[in-house]
Structure 1
Amino acid sequence: MNTLRPPVKVALAESVGVLARGDGWAYEPKFDGHRVLVFRDADGVVLQARSGRLVGSAFPDLAAAARRLPEGTVLDGEAVIWTGGRTDFAAVQRRAAATPARAAVLARRLPASYAAFDLLADGGTDLRRAPYERRRARLVELLGPLGPPLQPVPMTTDPELAETWYETLPETGIEGLVMKRLDQPYRGGVRAWRKLRHTDTRDAVVVGHTGARQRPGALVLVLPGDDTPVVSSPLAPGLRTVVGAALAGAIPAGEGTATAVGVGEVTYHRVVPELVVEVGQQTTRHGFVTVLRPKEN
């Protein structure tokens, strides 16, 4: 019935330094979660991460909730977890990395919500060429009767309200705004949207390290909105000791491979994602990621 099948390339956003103003702009809070596409068809529900990886087994609670959607629906959004009134990026990455056996336990302890921000297909009809304004209206109409944990993200066309969101929502874990043109189609793999973040630094979850755990050479990280591990630039000597102490209680999870800028594929030691670090990142997707400091729990 549905013409869209995973993997589907997701739409992306370009970082900007100012709020877009003028007619025809829409503004949404930018949630830091795990990017997930939801496919509901006659056979059930499939969840796809940004990388194309299928993650339904890691989020059984969201997969179960998505069965309430009409057949032929495809959503784009973020899986998020709320703890203490804030979004918890480390917790959602822990969910995303869980084995099927562990996933059910974590789903009860750390239930996920789904912040939907786009509708790619409705009743089997591909809507990606339709303007955002039309997709948004149908998204709200579709999810409104269902309620949590599937919810549309807030949206406004008022730049003053958007600016208020930008100034007041960070205390809830919202890192900024996403700006879209009302007449814009959904362009997978293209940075056609704009994102305005508060700082040039971001939080990242540590999923592994190179070298000894007590004094790692680099960290392997997952950044908000992406599930593809990236290798940081080499840690400064003093930071290696600090990070090594923060990793002291990390649970080993075998070995993996990731791509390091300028080096290629490297083997690293995987750990259960518990540690969050603050990083600086160049605006280009494949730029260096520099670890600044571990974040306090």
Structure 2
Amino acid sequence: MISRDPTAFFEHARALAPDFGAATARAAFLVAPDGFARAEQSADDNRYMAAAADFDPGRAGAQHRALHLALSQTLPTISFAGDADTPDALFPNNVFATVRAAGAAPRYLVGRMRHPVRQREAERADIRGFFEQVLGYEERDLSRQTHPCELTGALVIDRARGLGYAGLSERCDERGAALMHEAFGLRATLLFDLAPGEYHTNVVLAVLAGRAALVSPAGFADPAVAAAIAGFYGPRGIVLDAAEQAGFVANAIALSTYTVWMSAGAARAARPATQQALAAAGFAVVAVELDAIEAAGGSLRCCVGEVF
């Protein structure tokens, strides 16, 4: 099912059991910020990106290593080398993703990026080889068709239920969303327009271990869609304000059943009500300082590729 109708979508979703697959990843992968710099093409539609003078490669590299070390305490985490020709590669979840649905062979996906500077990332033989030759995953390559579909940047997934939330923008059109729906093997995907100026869904929405959601209505063209998503998760549908969104609070990820990861800046931006709601949902928050990395227009969730 692919729909723009939240009422029909959630009527269908409520009938689905949380048995699509594991709600959180079994491992993670990163790409080091080697050659960390402002990518001018990406800055064209990423309003969160700082000016070139505000990029600090040394600090970004140190913070990324600290993130790798911290994540490795929770689940196996590997880091691939970066490349100065692909300055946005430290956000690999837009380009590579995995799925392991119940009863299906695991596969890895390669997304179609909007900007040529990011399209180069999809050609990396080492990352493709890791998934295909080392892990034995089947490939689903979307990078050579024309419709933008920037994987788990554009598509937020409730992995427990097999539900997708696809925010449409210049980084993902309707056909691209349909291709991702099929490639991930999802049961249902809700399509909606992001607010003008928003580039990725995972800056305005996070689904946490299939049990809760962080939702920023300011990031949706129609706030009623955001309300419907939050309502689906009941008291665990946590509504963020615009300041929290700007602080990357929604760019969070659950990497275990009861732990949510976000940047230290996001944790500071989270209102007491948000912190209390996460605690009431059973989540402890782990925060890692990533202010230098956030200059590139993404935060912790953008850095983390998931291996299911």
TM-score by length of 1: 0.30
Q: Which protein has the bigger strand share?
A: 1
Higher relative contact order (CA closer than 8 Å, sequence separation 6+):
2
Q: Higher helix share goes to which structure?
A: 2
